[in-house]
Amino acid sequence: MTTMPTDPAPRALHGVPSYLDKNNLGPWEIYLEQVDRVTPYLGKLAYWAETLKRPKRILIVDVPIHLDDGTVAHFEGYRVQHNTSRGPAKGGVRFHQDVTLSEVMALSAWMTVKNAAVNLPYGGGKGGIRIDPRNYSQGELERLTRRYTTEIGLVIGPDKDIPAPDVNTNPQTMAWMMDTYSMNVGRTATGVVTGKPVQLGGSLGRADATGRGVFVTGAQALIKLGMPLEGAKIAVQGFGNVGYAAARIFQDHGAKIVAIQDVSGTIFSAGGLDPYAVQAHLQATGSVLNFEGSDALTKAEFWQVPCDVLIPAALEKQITVDNADQIQARVIVEGANGPTTPAADDILRGRGVTLVPDVLANAGGVTVSYFEWVQDFSSFFWTEDEINARLDRIMAEAFNSLWAVAERHGVTLRTAAYIVACTRVLEARALRGLYP
């Protein structure tokens, strides 16, 4: 093993990579600040801390496709592998018009932390294409997915980097990716992606896994705080796969959903909103607004809703210095990646709000993705009850472990998650050493 100095001397940082704007680092800046906050707790492993601040590999690709009107359009695609010290990279692919390299870098790094925090044998990866999928046909999106998969085929594989669904991608997207990769390598490789349809080697329980993990960790937080789950008031921002699943499962366990916000607007009802009915209304009308028995709120008013648990399950940078002091929830459970800025974290901690961080709260999805990957390799599949039981156990154990670390060091759950995760990643880095 590489010999490290007993007391590492301070070393100059290598600065901002040339491919980022030093005056506007975007989401990557949030991640870097989170690493800086945890470094003092890493002891001798701080010698390797710079490893965490540089992605292992970045691939930027041009994705040209024929549109339905006969023209050719070009889209910008990314695949970032942040760290593979503990295993192959793992992380989703998102289709969104505002995707940037900084965002994908940060998301890949958060995947590294997330996988290590729940002790999955993965590193962190992430991918994305700059496109608004609402403006394109199913055929165009299929051609986009297949071309993107071929372009990043150099770096993905069942034992190298395993994509999964993310914002605006779904099991059908993963089916196209799996088929394209399989055609290119000349064999069916079900393990190259997770989040696939069950008919193609997908796992039961995967669709609700992220939302279920949000519920499990949120329920554990309520237990620690001595707050009842029965009758707890829940506000949910984002009503996609994660927000909807979390809302359903909280309600199924006796909680009350009092506010829901999505891109179409915000609705509130002190008496409760049935997420099943809201979803049906959304599918029928294209909006959560005008749901029977609800009142419409402004986007800003959502953050002032009286509730016990707030679930941000949309995009990054939703809780900031502008609204953190208005939030009335006792508990925040981050269903989205990076929804809270570091400055907002400090405000919430000062107000006594317990925040369950994204790298723990939304790890249910990658945990069941791990189950899917294992099932694909073994060609032996588990029942949904078995999967849910394994998921609940892993998430609850991870939460209680991080809670103990937070109490021992007197830090937030986020810092505790980074202490545990970064220690595991850097221990692997130190044991492996540098090649050559």
**Active-site residue list:** 126
- Is residue 90 annotated as involved in ligand binding? yes
- Is residue 401 annotated as involved in ligand binding? no
170 backbone dihedrals φ, ψ, rounded to 5°: -155, -175
Range list of H helices, 27-137: 27-38, 101-117
- Is residue 210 annotated as involved in ligand binding? yes
What's the rounded Cα separation, in Å, for the pair 342 and 412?
Answer: 12
DSSP helix/strand/coil, 355: strand
Position of tokens 């998102």? Answer: 94
With 0-12 / 13-18 / 19 or more C-beta atoms within 10 angstroms meaning exposed / middle / buried, residue 374 is middle
Q: Beta-carbon neighbour count of residue 72 at 10 Å?
A: 8
Dihedral-angle region of residue 433 (phi above 0 means left; psi in -120 to 50 means alpha; beta otherwise)? left
Work out the end-to-end distance of the chain between its first and last CA atoms, rounded to an integer number of angstroms: 13
Assess contact for 258 and 250: CB atoms under 8 A: no
With 0-12 / 13-18 / 19 or more C-beta atoms within 10 angstroms meaning exposed / middle / buried, residue 227 is middle
- Is residue 233 annotated as involved in ligand binding? no
* Bridge partners for 256 per DSSP: 233
- Is residue 194 annotated as involved in ligand binding? no
H-helix or E-strand spanning residue 210? helix 209-225
Summarize the annotated binding site for NAD(+) as residue ranges. 210, 241
> Which amino acids are annotated as binding site, given as ranges?
90, 114, 210, 241, 369
Q: Residues annotated as binding site for substrate?
A: 90, 114, 369
